[in-house]
Amino acid sequence: MLENMIDLSQVAVVKKMLDSAGRVVVMAHKNPDGDAAGSSLALCNYIMGLGKEVTVVLPNAFPDFLSWLPSAGSVLFYDVEADKATEKIAAADILFCLDFNVISRLGDMSVAVSASKATKVLVDHHLFPSNEFDVSFSHPEACSTSELVYRLITALSGDECVTHDIAQCIYTGMMTDTGAFTYASMRKDIYIIIAALLNKGFDKDKIYRKVFFNYTVSRMKLMGYAMYRKLKLYNKYNTALITLSHEELMRFFAVKGDTEGLVNQPLQIKGVRFSCFFREEQPGKINVSLRSVDDFPCNEVAAEFFNGGGHKNASGGELHCSMDEAVRLLQRAIQKFKSELTM
């Protein structure tokens, strides 16, 4: 039996809102990952089952290896159809805000969301949520937002309302946000939920292959290049760094999702506790991905040095500087946290 997590009095409030709502929008953060896409599409499919008009609006596209998710073809992307997306947001009675803790994480879409008079419902597992939301299901102890969406749906309508399609979306979100259950996945409730999801009849091994065995030859060559040519080890500090410039990404015809999971690879090296990946999306704009093992707080590093945040073992940020400057910043971070890295 699942331990109680979400507030049932808030569930009752959401149920009442859904009963009277005409239009609903579900959204997630910029550069959506498996949890953002999976949780959004799971909740969308549930609300469609209630007979409501519901639209998933995302700031930009998710990686192609998630395009098979049920109802993925109906998602509206703000960076492609801003006017239409803004109309949907403005007309909504409820905005479900999934997998982000502050509206600014929506990027350019945040202006339309902040201006909306709709009730904003947060469902998220990141630390330090803002007070921009009317109803908040904020639980950093959850392995993923998809776990929280499962809990919300079953609290609203029972497990029988979790369809085959909803189950696939939730499982995908939980799987991707835990590195296929290799981190942030020690709680027994996670596996109780997985067992309940598997009762819906989907093939979890097939989902794994769709997500992790679905890359191009160019992506495989890029990964090989990154590991062979671009991996740098700071052995004294149990830290690894991979950098890829904009020119290198273009050389390998990289598309969204091609570097997914790369930051995790150095953690397989004996002794490495902290792995960093700097990807230059555009000249002078660097996306920072951080991963760690055990108790090393990469979210603290992200917040102090990389304009970001996240979870203890999985965080990120963004820099507007040269790659050389970004590397120097990491070196400063390593010195600041050297006692935790070498313990």
CATH of residue 227: 3.10.310.30
Residue 175 maps to which CATH number?
Answer: 3.90.1640.10
What element of type H or E holds 94? strand 94-98
Phi, psi (deg, nearest 5) at residue 316 = -165, 175
Phi, psi (deg, nearest 5) at residue 181 = 65, 35
DSSP string, 193-242: HHHHHHTT---HHHHHHHHHS---HHHHHHHHHHHHHSEEEEGGGTEEEE
Provide the residue range defining the domain that includes 74.
8-211
Domain boundary among 211, 244, 269: 211
- pLDDT tens sequence for the chain (343 residues): 888 999 999 999 999 999 999 999 999 999 999 999 999 999 999 999 999 999 999 999 999 999 999 999 999 999 999 999 999 999 999 999 999 999 999 999 999 999 999 999 999 999 899 999 999 999 999 999 999 999 999 999 999 999 999 999 999 999 999 989 988 899 999 999 999 999 999 999 999 999 999 889 999 999 999 999 999 999 999 999 999 999 999 999 998 889 999 999 999 999 999 999 999 999 999 999 999 999 999 999 999 999 998 889 999 999 999 999 999 999 999 999 999 999 7
For the chain, count helices (H), then strands (E): 13, 12
Alpha-carbon distance 264 to 298, whole Å? 13
Q: Give the predicted TM-score (pTM) of the model.
A: 0.91
- Identify the pLDDT of residue 182: 87
Are the C-beta atoms of 229 and 240 separated by less than 8 Å? no
- Identify the pLDDT of residue 310: 87
Q: Which pair of structure tokens corresponds to residue 303?
A: 């917040």
SS3 category, 88 = helix
Alpha-carbon distance 96 to 99, whole Å? 10
Residue 34: CB atoms within 10 A of its CB come to 25
Q: Closest Cα partner for 268 from 230, 309, 240, 288? A: 240
- Domain-located, residue 131: yes
- Domain-located, residue 2: no
Domain boundary among 211, 232, 259: 211
Residue 272: CB atoms within 10 A of its CB come to 20
> The dihedral of CA 210, 211, 213, 217: what is its sign?
positive
Domain boundary among 179, 211, 243: 211
Phi, psi (deg, nearest 5) at residue 98 = -110, 135
CA distances from 269 to 60, 226, 239, 273 (A): 34, 15, 10, 9
Alpha-carbon distance 285 to 172, whole Å? 30
Q: Which pair of structure tokens corresponds to residue 341?
A: 């890295």
- Identify the pLDDT of residue 265: 95
Sheet harboring 76-77: ordered strands across? 76-77, 53-58, 23-28, 94-98, 119-124, 135-138
Structural domains counted in the chain: 2
- Domain-located, residue 175: yes
- Identify the pLDDT of residue 170: 98
- Identify the pLDDT of residue 176: 95
